[in-house]
Structures are given as structure tokens and as C-alpha cells.
Amino acid sequence: MPGKSVDPQAAQELNLNSVVPLQYFRSANSGLTPAEMELAVNQAIVLIDDLYAHLLLKQAMHAIDPVQALKLLLLQVRRGLISDEKTFHQRMLDIFISLRDLHTNYLLPEPFAGSVAFLPFMVDEYFDEGGYPHYPVRRIMSAALQPPFVDGVEISHWNGMPMEEAITLNARDHAGSNPAARHLQGLLTMTSRPLVSSLPPREDWVTLTYVHGGGVNEIRFPWCVFRPQSASLAVQTDNPKDPAATAMGIDFGLAVAHRARKILFKPDAMQRELEMAPGTAAAQAQASQPVGDNPLHNYTIFPNELEYGIRNTRSGKFGLLRIRSFDVSDHVAFAGEVARILQLLPKEGLILDVRSNPGGNILSGEHLLQLFTDREIEPAPVCFRNTTGTLAFAKNSTLSQWLPSIDLAAEIGANYSQYFSLSDRASVNSIGRRYAGKVVLLTDASCYSTTDFFAAGFQDHEIGPVIGYDQATGAGGANVWTHDLLRKFLPPKQASSNGNGGPGPLELLPRGMAMRVSFRRSTRVGARAGLPLEDLGVQCDKLHRKTRRDVFEEGADLYETAGQTLLEMIQKG
């Protein structure tokens, strides 16, 4: 049975423009020349060989040699063996993906960067009582509804391949630090893929075998490509004067994908985002309303990052605070807003939910921990790899506390610099505790970077138990800098004796392409002091496998588990 694409009226309703079938996009390219390819590879070598904080860890854990792979690619470009642009992009993506580091990316130029490939539905995953996975269809676009293909049918095969194997195959094209994170990356990109971080799907259409109440059917859908009306998909500033720029920890791909899925599949949420922007009449009216059960309908000055409300469970009534992102520039205002919200919630117990949070400003995550404990917060320490490249950066006044140890590295043979925290210790303890009740933290394998920092701090300061859909978080243990930010921090070389000056080792990337790199690595504190976050993540204290109710009732069983855990904690005193 042939499937439908997205018609122009549906595209307009979705706030999309220029929706086209994927095959019309296949000839798209940015006009990259061999000389520009060579420049891009050289810049990648500088990032990975000289600045990448996790290089030694990745070489050991994954038995890879990304620097040698880049040098071979450079040789092939110079010899004319690789001149096709898409072949070049795929080789670069493969090398970066081999690092299994969602912080360290090769980001494609236009026309890929501003485009998203999608199918007109989402797919989720849950486990039955026997532990067997199921893959239900969710949020089908109205233009694609064809009974019996409706919300809730379960996909058994994808292009003739068992669904679980199709997800595993797709995950190979998307980095993930541990098996759970790789699997979730594969699942999340099955039906929507921002092309800034991956080339278009290999197939022009997908044939699904699905199970419904009346039996088994097949249906086919073409891949389409759209461009969000918002011209920029950037989630990280490159302004060296912005403290948030140097303190970022975020899964860029997941952040962009969240935005794309919101535009595609949640137009009501997009409309509410506009209506509830701070200063609008709707936001001002909502500010005077009492706290209700629906987290979406309670006022906050950070409507894209925070949701809160009252959660009724069989074990009692508890507060619920959902932190969807830490991507805010003003971490002080963010902590103040969370402190205000906590005073409005039930006092006995709190469900703190950071599932699917891709991260953001590390300072904004670490400043929240003090609100939930009387313990003094110890912010996570970070360090550089000791190289000539990081030595050059440490001469900048912003990074100068790391300079002596990097300068000494050649003499003592240390692989890493000393550790210092990004957050000021006095600042992360300046507000103090604002919630006196018991707290549990909900995580999954897409919690990344700043959310890893936050979950690690939550666990290391013994605030409460961590309950996870997956055994560990996404395992992003670094502070990430963009190539453009690095370039702005490192001044050009001084003029040589013959008067011929030259650019620094970091040069402007061609055609608007971009790169990001894990620049400073982090470790745990407290009883786990010294353990890396990268690749390991934060292990949950209690595993809750996602159920069908969790999928179709917004985490209903997970919240019941959280409520039961809180009740047991309250009873113990």
C-alpha cells in the first residue's frame, strides 16, 4: 500500500517551508573543492591530535586511531582519489563518529546544515513483562493517517529487517558513548534526522510491516526534507565574551533533533511556546494562577527549559520538576527561577525529571545542586590534555590557572593538566538549600553532558536515588568548544622575521561547515572522585524499563515507581 507524503496545506500547518521528497535533494551539494576538503581535514587533525581531551581514552576503549584515519583521508584527497563531495562528507562523519563522542562533531555545510529529513510519524520503544521490546508508532501527521495505520500500531519490520536490527544498523551512523546511548540514538533518528550531522538516508522510501488489531499490514512512506523557517539551528554561541560559550556541554545533534521534532510533530507545543514567551499577555495571565497538575500550564520565565506541577501517584501527591534543557545563558537567573518554583511544590517529596535533556550551560546545571541538599557542593573538576596546542590556549587569561601544569608536562611526563572546576565553589553554594523534602532523579540514556554533570553531582552528593529508563546516562564527560570559538581564542601567529605573518593553526572552515571538540574532560567527586564521566556515565540506582503506559501516558508507570520510592524514603525518615 503506497503511503502519502506531506501535502502543502499540512506543511503550512506545521510551520514548514520547502518540503520536498528526498530524491529531489540527492543532487544537493555545497560546491566543496578539493582544496577546501584538504583544509577541512587539516583542521580536523589539529582538533583531534592536539586539542581533543579524550583521545587517549578513546584509543584505549574503542581501539581506534582517528588521527591516522584523517591523515589517510588527506592523502587520498591530495592524490585525487576522493573528489566527490558526499563521499568526502561521509568519510569525515565516519571518522568523527568512530570517537563515540556526541560532543566532538563534524557538522555539514549548507544546504545540509539547515535541512531535516523526516518520515511523517515517530516511533517509540517499550518492554513487555517478559522483557521483549515493542516499537509503537506515535504522532502520525494527519496527512499520513491511513487506517489501520494509526497511532499505536507496532512496527515489526523496517524494509524487511526486524525492527531491533534496523535500529542497531542505524545507530552505527550516530555516535553514542555506551551501548544504551547508541541504541537510543539509533531509535531517535529512525524517522527524523537533522542533516547538519548526518547525510540524507540511503533509501528514498521506507516500507513498514506493522501489527494492528486486525492483523499484519505493510505500508510505504517516502523520505522528505524540510527546512525550519528559523534560519539557524545553532544551539551554542561562539562569542568569546559570553561566559556560557566556554562552559558549554551539550549534545548538539539531540538538541537540534528535539527542535525539529517539536516543529514536525508538536505544532501545539510550538504555538504555546510563542504564546507563553515572557512578557506576553498569556504568560502574564498564567503567572497569577495557582500551580496545577499539568506541568505545561504553569508559568515560568524559562518555558522551553522548565515544566513543573503536582503529580498524583498511588503513593501520594508529590512535586514534579521537569528540566528539559540547561541551555540558558544566565545561570544565576535560572537557579533563582528553580528556587522560586520549589517553594510552590508539595514539601514532602519531589520528582526531578531530566530525561532526554541534551545538556547546555554547565554552570546552570551545577548551580542547581545546592537547592536540594545541606551538603557543600563540590563542582566537577575539568582538565586539559597536555599538548603544545593546549599550552597555547592556556596562555589566555581566561584559562591561565591550567597553564603551570601544562607548561610542566614535558618535564614530568603527565598526560593531563591539573584539575580545576568551571563553576566557582562559593557561587555554587551561595543560595543554599531551598527544598527540604526527599528527592528522586529520573534519567535515561539521552541525558548528556551538562545533564551528566548534574546527575553525577546529584549522586555524588547523595541527594537521592537515581531512577533510569536505562542503566546509565549518555556519558558525555566534557566541556565542548566549537572550532570557531577556539579560533577566536587563539590569536594569529606573530609576524616572522621576514615580515610574513600567517594565520594561526586554526583557520576559517570553508562553506560554513563547523566542528566541535571535547576540550576539557571532567571527573566525578565524592566517593567516586577521579572516575571519568565519558563513556561510563551515571549508573542508575534503580532500573525501570519503559512500559506501554510510559509511552502512551507520558511516563505514568515511571512516575509511579518514583512515587513509591519517595514514599519509602519518607517512611524511613
SS (H, E, C) 87-123: HHHHHHHHHHHCCCCCCCEEECCCCCCCCEEECCCEE
How far lies 60's CA from each of 55, 273, 385, 539, in Å?
9, 44, 15, 21
* Tens digits of residue pLDDT in 364-375: 999 999 999 999
How far lies 558's CA from each of 353, 528, 555, in Å?
10, 27, 5
pLDDT for 502 equals 39
Taking the CA of residue 165 as centre, how many other CA atoms within 13 Å lie in the half-sphere pointing to its CB? 7
Query: At a CB cut-off of 8 Å and minimum separation 6, what does 325 contact?
Result: 255, 304, 305, 357, 358, 359, 360
Mean pLDDT of 475-479: 95
DSSP 132: -
Burial classification of residue 490, based on how many CB atoms lie within 10 Å of its CB (0-12 exposed, 13-18 middle, 19 or more buried) = middle
For residue 443, the surrounding DSSP H or E stretch is strand 438-443
With pLDDT > 70 as the criterion, what percentage of the chain qualifies?
91
Report the distance separating Cα 206 and Cα 443, nearest Å: 31
pTM score: 0.92
Asked whether residue 95 carries a pLDDT value surpassing 60, the answer given is yes
How large is the C-alpha radius of gyration of the chain?
24
CB count in 10 Å sphere of residue 263: 21
* Tens digits of residue pLDDT in 126-138: 999 999 999 999 9
Residue 9 or residue 295, greater confidence? 295
Cis peptide before 492 (omega within 30 of 0): no
Asked whether residue 147 carries a pLDDT value surpassing 80, the answer given is yes
Asked whether residue 63 carries a pLDDT value surpassing 60, the answer given is yes
Query: At a CB cut-off of 8 Å and minimum separation 6, what does 202 contact?
Result: none
* Tens digits of residue pLDDT in 494-551: 333 333 333 468 999 999 999 999 999 999 999 999 999 999 999 999 999 999 999 9
Band of residue 492 on the pLDDT scale cut at 50, 70, 90? low
* Tens digits of residue pLDDT in 4-60: 344 433 444 344 557 889 998 988 899 999 999 999 999 999 999 999 999 999 999
Mean pLDDT of 62-70: 97
Report the distance separating Cα 540 and Cα 407, nearest Å: 39
pLDDT for 344 equals 96
158 backbone dihedrals φ, ψ, rounded to 5°: -125, 110
Report the distance separating Cα 129 and Cα 557, nearest Å: 13
Report the distance separating Cα 551 and Cα 90, nearest Å: 34
Average pLDDT, the chain: 90
Band of residue 229 on the pLDDT scale cut at 50, 70, 90? low
Query: At a CB cut-off of 8 Å and minimum separation 6, what does 352 contact?
Result: 321, 323, 372, 439, 440, 441, 442, 458
pLDDT for 16 equals 53
* Tens digits of residue pLDDT in 457-467: 999 999 999 99
Report the DSSP beta bridge partners of residue 248: 361
Q: Which amino acid is at 543?
A: L
Band of residue 237 on the pLDDT scale cut at 50, 70, 90? low
Q: The CATH number of 114-228 is which of 2.60.370.10, 2.40.160.20, 2.30.42.10, 3.40.50.300?
A: 2.30.42.10
Alpha helices in 233-330 (DSSP H): 243-246, 252-265, 267-275, 281-287
Asked whether residue 491 carries a pLDDT value surpassing 80, the answer given is no
The dihedral over CA atoms of 262, 113, 509, 390, expressed in degrees to the nearest 10, equals 30
DSSP E strands, 149-247: 154-158, 161-162, 192-194, 205-212, 215-222, 224-228
With pLDDT > 90 as the criterion, what percentage of the chain qualifies?
76
Q: Check: CB of residue 17 under 8 Å from CB of residue 231.
A: no
Q: Check: CB of residue 454 under 8 Å from CB of residue 354.
A: yes
Angle at 245 between CA 239 and CA 248, to 5 degrees: 160
pLDDT for 234 equals 47
pLDDT for 3 equals 40
Band of residue 272 on the pLDDT scale cut at 50, 70, 90? confident
For cell 545507530, name the residue: 171
pLDDT for 12 equals 42
Q: Check: CB of residue 95 under 8 Å from CB of residue 44.
A: yes
DSSP 347: S
Report the DSSP beta bridge partners of residue 516: 105, 482
